[in-house]
Structure 1
Amino acid sequence: MALPVILAVIGVLLLIISLVQPLAGALRMPFSVVLAAIGMLIAAAASFLLHTELTDAFNEPARAILDFPIGSTVFLYVFLPTLIFQTALTLDVRQMMPDWVPIFVLAVLAVVVATAVIGLALLPLAGQPLLVCLLLGAIVATTDPVAVVGIFRDIGAPARLGRLVEGESLLNDAAAITLFAAFLAILVAGETPGFADAALSFLWTLCGGALVGHLAARAAAWLIGRLPEQRSAAVSISFALAYLVFIACEQLLGVSGVIAVVVAGMTLSLLGPSRASPDGWSYLTGIWDQIAFWASSLVFVLAAILVPRLLASLSLFDLFLILVVAAAALAARAVILFALLPLLSLLKLSPPVSIPYRVVILWGGLRGAVTLALALAVTENDIVPDDIQRFVAILATGFVLFTLLIQGTTMRWVISSLGLNLLSPRDAAMRGQVLAVALENVREAVARAAEAYKVASGTALAEARRYAERIDEAASAGQGRELTDKERLSLGLLTLAGRERDIIIERMRARTVSAALLPSLLAQAETLLDRARTGGWSDYQRAAKQTLAFDWKFGFAQFLHRRLHASGPLERLLARRFEMLFVTRTVLEELSSFIDSKIVPILGLRVGEVLHEIVERRQEAVAAGLDALRLQYPLYAESLERRLLRKIALRQEELEYMVLFEDGLIGPELYDNLRRSVDADRKEADRQRRLDLALNARELVGELPMFADLTGEQLTEVTKLLQPLFVIPGEQVIRRGTPGDAVYFIASGALEVSLPGRKVRLGRGDVVGEMALLHGRPRQSDVHAISYCFLLRLDVRAFQGFLAQHPGIRRNIEQVAAERAAANAEAVA
């Protein structure tokens, strides 16, 4: 078929699709189901026009539709990567993680069970070998992501139910396609592999695809991060990612391309927002939404056009077998949903899934283009006998029609019958209060608008009276079930955590947060949100405390600093921590005002007080960490403040130019010139200033009072003996009971010595650890850092030799030791 004809057919189909969308809304039918019906009508009409004797005027258009070059490879290699990648890209992966067990069971185990049950159900009736029946079972076992996701989004399914079904439909393609490929290979080659080999091959297919997708997406995210302002480049990279990963896995590596694309999409959805610019990421997701709409719509129409051809020789016995397939598929799905999932919940291996949810998931196992594509792959294989081709084509196509036309059209009714379209009791209890607060704000805004626009007083009063009546109705509606204190606190905490994430995203869009810091801030905000959702306020507080803890990276950086004298990694981590604390402090201040303005009017003063207490604890912890760093590095703190103000100024400058351009006061050439100037200044502001650990040991030694009398030559000699040591808050410097191996001079910061019954704090210029070395006894106390400290460590052998050479310093240290021994004895007495 000529290329202009193909393009013309696609153009006509896209025009039809644009008209079907409002039609589906008017009919209150899922868009994908109406598309499938329209596709079958187009095929039927084309067949009639081609074979009718009434006229030959439409023969060429009808032939172009019926002979359109659409096959299994087009569905699998052109449409499937796009559709799966876009769906994975828009998933909220973190919200899906609590349900990973039921999703995995539905996506993998349910496919295997459905394949076996359908195959065994057909075996005594179909007159085909077991292998062929299992092949058909694998073909129809997979739910189609396009059909399922589209319908569930159209009918507004509950959020968790949608996540369960979307997760299953995205991942089960890999399991079904793997089983299909194995059965088809056996059917063609006539060789049956061993069970162990087949199981290992299945696992490698899934795990290998996941690994390839994850690594490829990380590489793509890194590349996007190198081109943050190039929106078109980011879209191109993501588009290449979907197709290259799919083709490489399927054609070169022998692993699941579907799993690879799913994992790649989810990984990029986690990493992408922090790598691309805010406008660039919105542009990327918007482009993918449009591409996916075109692809999903064309998939349904083109697949439906094939249906009359695939069902050309349908018989009554075939209809019976289609019903057998439908019954077996539902039975297999019911076993997983109503037997296995409750058992897993009973064993605490999976979160419980309610019975209404399980009923909807059972009925929502829709099939679509993926099943038809696999069936076409069988019919297009010349080695497969004709009777097997016919058997697979008719039963697979008939089952797809059953799920779309029967299950798809009744899905809205099922959900409404189970009450899943209604608000939860908690949301219903909140509705009246939310409405009352919102409508009061609207009423005040209407009054201000009426005054500003000089609206007649009668009209303004009538409109105000209407809103006052609605406020009274909302207040009356909210007098039913009251929320418990625990529910109010849970909602408030979720709102607070969600607002923290939104503030960070707003800062990102305003470009007042550095790109290097953004992934850490977003990850912390998502962790707080997850903990608030799953564990309540106690888990939230533990997570908030954990965000300020020092992870393994700090430990490794300290090792490099102490052992290899490589200070770069530690300097970068401290600089990042400094900025993170700085940004977190400003975010918490905004959260405090958000509690009073938004949460208290809806959830009450008591919830507001608790949330304020939680935020204040976080503010105290952040302030303590920030003050410790600020005292250690005041110049760096000042540079961060200047950098923040500079970024805010640049954002405002950018907005000013944008307003002038939109108002037509400046032309595009001048606007582009001004914008480029702002971008250049922003790159300079984004450049992170180096945090210097001040490792000049000679300078630090010279500033210590104990070494004040040394000459320059003696200071150089002492410096060679001392090892610079950076210590973080909470780190233990000396452990009680251990042998004395070194003495520590405090160049900056503060240490706390834990003695029996009391604690002593030491600061700049003090020495610690000398008593054990002077008297040859084990350590008598624990010593911890209470701030960031810079210490100078002198080991025992160097210490003894040093004191022998400098009797004056020995007398000073012995005097300090004697005073401490006397103070300790007095404290014990």
Structure 2
Amino acid sequence: MDIVLITTVIAALFVVIGVAEPLAARLRLPYSVILAVLGTLIGVGAIFFLRTELTDALNPVAEAILGLPIRSNVFLYVFLPTLLFQATFGMNLRRMLDDWVPILVLSVVAVVVATVTVGYALSWTSALPLAACLLIGAIVSTTDPSAVVSIFRSVSAPRRLARIIEGESLLNDAAAIALFGLFMGFVMLGVPDPKLSDALAQFPVLVAGGVLTGWVTARIAVWMMAAFGRYELAQISISVALPYLAYIGAEQSVGASGVIAVVTAGITLNLTAPGRLPPQAWANMREVWGLLAHWAGALIFILAALLIPRLLEEVRLSDFALVGVVILAATAARAVILFGLLPLLSRLRVSPVVERPYRAAILWGGLRGAVTLALALAVTESFRVPDGIQRVVGILATGYTLFTLLVQGTTLRLVISKLGLDRLSAIDEALSRQVVAVALQTVREDVARTTGNYDLGHEIVRAEAKRFGERLDAAVKTAEESADILDRDRITLGLIALAGHERDTIIVRVRERTISARMADQVLSDADRLIEGARSGGRSGYQRAARRSVAYGTAFRTALLLHNRLGVSVPLARLTADRFELLLTQRLSLRDLDGFIDGRIRRIHGRRVADLLRELLARRVELVETALEGLRLQYPGYAEKLERRFIRRTALRLEEREYTAMREDGLIGAEVHTALMQEVAERRARAEERPRLDIALQRRELVAQFPLFAGLDEAAIRRLSRALRTRYANVGDVLMRKDSPARSVFFIASGAVELEAAGQTWRLGRGEMFGELSVLKRMARRAEARAITPSALLVLDEARFRRLLRRSARLRQAVQESAAKRGISIDMPPAA
């Protein structure tokens, strides 16, 4: 085929892509539906002009359209990796983890249930073998990411609903394509009645292989990007290659799921790259991928739609009944999961509650699209699949896809509206009226100043002021009618606004590079949790989210366990450094919120609400400061290094701003500005490197600052730091059990410990020790010790403790005082 003609057709398709978006906005229909309709019309038109005798002028164009090399591998190996990678690349993974149970249920369990339900329903109502029926079930069980995500982003759906839909549509392709490959093999081998257990047994291998391939490929890619730190185009080029190498490597080399590999690669890049790449390079990379995914999603829909007339050429009347069976079975299977399994998991406290309107929207939002058509096309292309099965698979998959797009897709906006998911709550409506009144009052004051500065005509000013005053009076009257908002609701709305402003402040500081890209996603996720916590639980929900933002998570507790039990300190050092930086970032953001409360919230909600919000903000600041102080006590000197790094980065930002201002004022030329900015960029790259947290070195600093070891010389401190083990304890951890053998002594470097024995309780703090009396008396422990705050302890075994006791008069005195306080007499070893 003539390359000029193919290029012309592809260029024309891009014109169609450009026209489709404003057309979809004008018709208030989903973009993907418009693309599917236009593609189908183009395919029908090409067939019509090729077969009609009215004219032959358009035959070359029609032949070029129908002769495009549209194969299933083009969809699966060219377009699908791009769509999956960009969807994973752009999502907020930390927020999605809050709903990981419903997402996994919908993306794995629902796919298996839909495959089985559709398969057996077709087996009972048609003459097809069970293997072919299950193959059709696997094909139609996947929701298309480009169809679903684009629709839910175009309508005013709640964020949580969009997250669940995006997560499901992203991950269920892996399950569906894996099942498709298994049942496709049964059909090609002529196995009429496969065992479902044999198929599912291979599923974990596909998943594990895909996860490993995607993770390794992404880690290598991130390492290469970090090595090319000053070459942004090189970094973007490597990111473009990443999903394809992961997909092909998993499918062709490992024999695993390419979809899982791409998703894993995207997640790995999303979590690790922001801390390794310059912020601007990361932002530009996301913009490039947004454009690539837009083109890929549009082309995959148009090209897949071009196939629809061809796939439906041999449709029969009886096929419509089978399409109806597929629609009913697939919908019923999805409804069972949404309205049966998910509520059950919520009652068992396994899954967070997914509200009924959300579940109804998810049921109707399970659209099929290009992925379903691509899998059906793969069946029709295989010469090893019988012709009768090829025809039925193509017709049923195409018919079901058209139903979801033309019926569900065109009515999804209406369904969301009927469910009330696109409307403001009564509280938000009342707030919006008050916000409009306050905003218009501010605008009137600014307009008055502006007209005075420009010395405009008095008649014009008077006429426009009258019109604006009428609008302001109407807004004030409406606000007064809704002024009966309860104080509780005003506090909730104020907290939502406060958390929203905090989020905006974080985004500004990330762009200014005051907050590192490594911490950006984490602090933004915390701000999102504050917003949702305030929206769902008011003041208590906001406070829970605030406490969670400074609490030790599961990953940190796991790292503590690895360090305390196995001596593996690398994960603990990394997570502790992250916690340091996170707390410093939170403290920086919180200091900017007082002005927002006084300047904005007070004008809308009044002094009483503003004072209460300031009190809640003060509690958050105290939480952060307490957590930071605890880390400073555990790791003396490290917080100072991080704060110095922050000051250096702030100074570089200000220096950069000054050079830009001088360039705009004409004080320096373009050449000088470029040289100065390059120098700043080199220093910024060095300042971005976070100081390494060395736990062993920190232990030596702790020993040197410990009051009981003040009399030791430097050599003795070095020997002691090697002998001591560092143990970290969370609130409630048992450090020493009653009646356990006495083999070590504990020194409290930071935190607090409670001892309980014989009905008495003692509390010990920093600089004190416990466990020494049982060691000296050579008897079992008589007390139980439990951490009552996050604590760091230094642990010394019995033999080294006795040797240290002989050399340190200060330590012997402390032991004697501790024994006398508890009324216990001991025999001290002689001094060395």
**Which category of TM-score, normalised to the shorter sequence, fits these structures?**
0.7 to 0.9
What is the aligned partner in structure 2 of residue 158 from structure 1? Answer: 158
Letter matched to residue 308 of structure 2: V
What is the aligned partner in structure 2 of residue 177 from structure 1? Answer: 177
Unaligned residue ranges in structure 2 (runs of 5+): 825-832
Distance verdict in 2 for CA 1:795–1:229, change over 3 Å: same
Q: Do 2:37 and 2:305's aligned partners in 1 also have CA atoms closer than 8 Å?
A: yes
2:752 and 2:120 map into 1 onto residues whose CA distance is 74
Q: Do 2:700 and 2:717's aligned partners in 1 also have CA atoms closer than 8 Å?
A: no
Query: Cα RMSD over matched residues?
Result: 4.6
1:539 and 2:541 aligned: no
2:289 and 2:84 map into 1 onto residues whose CA distance is 11
Q: Do 2:118 and 2:137's aligned partners in 1 also have CA atoms closer than 8 Å?
A: yes
Letter matched to residue 398 of structure 1: G
Cα distance per residue 1:413-438 (max 9 Å; x no partner)? 33334443322334223222232333
Aligned length: 808
Q: Do 1:528 and 1:543's aligned partners in 2 also have CA atoms closer than 8 Å?
A: no
What is the aligned partner in structure 2 of residue 289 from structure 1? Answer: 290
2:343 and 2:813 map into 1 onto residues whose CA distance is 73
2:207 and 2:571 map into 1 onto residues whose CA distance is 37
What are the within-5 Å matches in structure 2 for residues 138-217 of structure 1? Answer: 138-191=138-191, 193-217=194-218
Letter matched to residue 157 of structure 1: A
1:689 and 1:122 map into 2 onto residues whose CA distance is 62
Distance verdict in 2 for CA 1:130–1:720, change over 3 Å: closer
Q: 2:674 aligns with which of 665, 672, 675?
A: 672
What is the aligned partner in structure 1 of residue 78 from structure 2? Answer: 78
Please give the secondary structure, in 1, of the residue aligned with 2:592: helix
Letter matched to residue 314 of structure 1: V
What is the aligned partner in structure 2 of residue 390 from structure 1? Answer: 391
Cα distance per residue 1:455-477 (max 9 Å; x no partner)? 44454455455455444444444
What are the within-5 Å matches in structure 2 for residues 281-320 of structure 1? Answer: 281-320=282-321
Distance verdict in 2 for CA 1:557–1:590, change over 3 Å: farther
CA shift for structure 1 position 646: 2.8
Cα distance per residue 1:242-299 (max 9 Å; x no partner)? 2122222222333322233234334433444443322222211211111111112112
What are the within-5 Å matches in structure 2 for residues 673-822 of structure 1? Answer: 673-687=675-689, 693=698, 695=700, 799=802, 803=806
Q: Do 1:504 and 1:587's aligned partners in 2 also have CA atoms closer than 8 Å?
A: yes
Letter matched to residue 508 of structure 1: V
What is the aligned partner in structure 2 of residue 244 from structure 1? Answer: 245
Letter matched to residue 305 of structure 1: L
Distance verdict in 2 for CA 1:483–1:345, change over 3 Å: farther
2:67 and 2:421 map into 1 onto residues whose CA distance is 44
Q: Which moved more, 1:293-302 or 1:548-557?
A: 548-557
Q: Which moved more, 1:541-550 or 1:135-144?
A: 541-550
Letter matched to residue 164 of structure 1: I
Cα distance per residue 1:745-787 (max 9 Å; x no partner)? 99x9899998979878786xx9988877888898899798999
Larger radius of gyration: 1
Q: 1:592 aligns with which of 591, 594, 601?
A: 594
CA shift for structure 1 position 635: 7.2
Cα distance per residue 1:526-564 (max 9 Å; x no partner)? 66667667771452243145159985546766889xx99
Distance verdict in 2 for CA 1:677–1:55, change over 3 Å: same
Q: Which moved more, 1:347-356 or 1:25-34?
A: 347-356
Q: Do 1:148 and 1:365's aligned partners in 2 also have CA atoms closer than 8 Å?
A: yes
CA shift for structure 1 position 677: 0.7
2:178 and 2:332 map into 1 onto residues whose CA distance is 22
What is the aligned partner in structure 2 of residue 110 from structure 1? Answer: 110
What is the aligned partner in structure 1 of residue 439 from structure 2? Answer: 438
Letter matched to residue 151 of structure 1: I
Q: Do 1:94 and 1:530's aligned partners in 2 also have CA atoms closer than 8 Å?
A: no
What is the aligned partner in structure 1 of residue 646 from structure 2? Answer: 644
What are the within-5 Å matches in structure 2 for residues 155-554 of structure 1? Answer: 155-191=155-191, 193-478=194-479, 479-480=481-482, 484-514=486-516, 536-546=541-551, 551=557, 553=559
What is the aligned partner in structure 1 of residue 829 from structure 2? Answer: none
Q: Do 1:72 and 1:376's aligned partners in 2 also have CA atoms closer than 8 Å?
A: yes
CA shift for structure 1 position 599: 3.9
1:13 and 1:175 map into 2 onto residues whose CA distance is 32
Distance verdict in 2 for CA 1:461–1:618, change over 3 Å: same
Letter matched to residue 589 of structure 2: V
Please give the secondary structure, in 1, of the residue aligned with 2:152: helix
Q: Do 1:214 and 1:267's aligned partners in 2 also have CA atoms closer than 8 Å?
A: yes
1:553 and 1:455 map into 2 onto residues whose CA distance is 68
Q: Do 1:698 and 1:716's aligned partners in 2 also have CA atoms closer than 8 Å?
A: no
Distance verdict in 2 for CA 1:496–1:268, change over 3 Å: farther
CA shift for structure 1 position 380: 0.9
Distance verdict in 2 for CA 1:416–1:515, change over 3 Å: closer
What are the within-5 Å matches in structure 2 for residues 43-82 of structure 1? Answer: 43-82=43-82
Q: Do 1:743 and 1:799's aligned partners in 2 also have CA atoms closer than 8 Å?
A: no
2:201 and 2:790 map into 1 onto residues whose CA distance is 53
1:392 and 1:435 map into 2 onto residues whose CA distance is 56
Percent same amino acid among aligned pairs?
A: 46
CA shift for structure 1 position 682: 1.9
Distance verdict in 2 for CA 1:402–1:649, change over 3 Å: same
1:792 and 1:310 map into 2 onto residues whose CA distance is 73
2:489 and 2:62 map into 1 onto residues whose CA distance is 61
What are the within-5 Å matches in structure 2 for residues 5-44 of structure 1? Answer: 5-44=5-44
CA shift for structure 1 position 189: 0.6
Q: Do 1:227 and 1:276's aligned partners in 2 also have CA atoms closer than 8 Å?
A: no
2:160 and 2:701 map into 1 onto residues whose CA distance is 57
Letter matched to residue 655 of structure 1: R
Please give the secondary structure, in 1, of the residue aligned with 2:455: coil
Q: Do 1:527 and 1:543's aligned partners in 2 also have CA atoms closer than 8 Å?
A: no
CA shift for structure 1 position 816: 6.9
Distance verdict in 2 for CA 1:636–1:477, change over 3 Å: same
1:169 and 1:610 map into 2 onto residues whose CA distance is 42
Please give the secondary structure, in 2, of the residue aligned with 1:393: helix
Distance verdict in 2 for CA 1:41–1:673, change over 3 Å: same
Please give the secondary structure, in 1, of the residue aligned with 2:202: helix
CA shift for structure 1 position 78: 1.1
TM-score in terms of structure 1 length: 0.82
Cα distance per residue 1:212-243 (max 9 Å; x no partner)? 43554455445444445543233223322221
Letter matched to residue 451 of structure 2: A
2:572 and 2:167 map into 1 onto residues whose CA distance is 40
CA shift for structure 1 position 74: 0.9
Q: Which moved more, 1:40-49 or 1:219-228?
A: 219-228
Q: Which moved more, 1:528-537 or 1:591-600?
A: 528-537
Unaligned residue ranges in structure 1 (runs of 5+): none
Distance verdict in 2 for CA 1:802–1:392, change over 3 Å: closer
Q: Which moved more, 1:391-400 or 1:351-360?
A: 351-360
1:304 and 1:690 map into 2 onto residues whose CA distance is 54
Cα distance per residue 1:83-126 (max 9 Å; x no partner)? 22222323333333344343333333333343344444444654
1:466 and 1:368 map into 2 onto residues whose CA distance is 51
1:458 and 1:508 map into 2 onto residues whose CA distance is 47
2:372 and 2:795 map into 1 onto residues whose CA distance is 71
Letter matched to residue 285 of structure 2: L
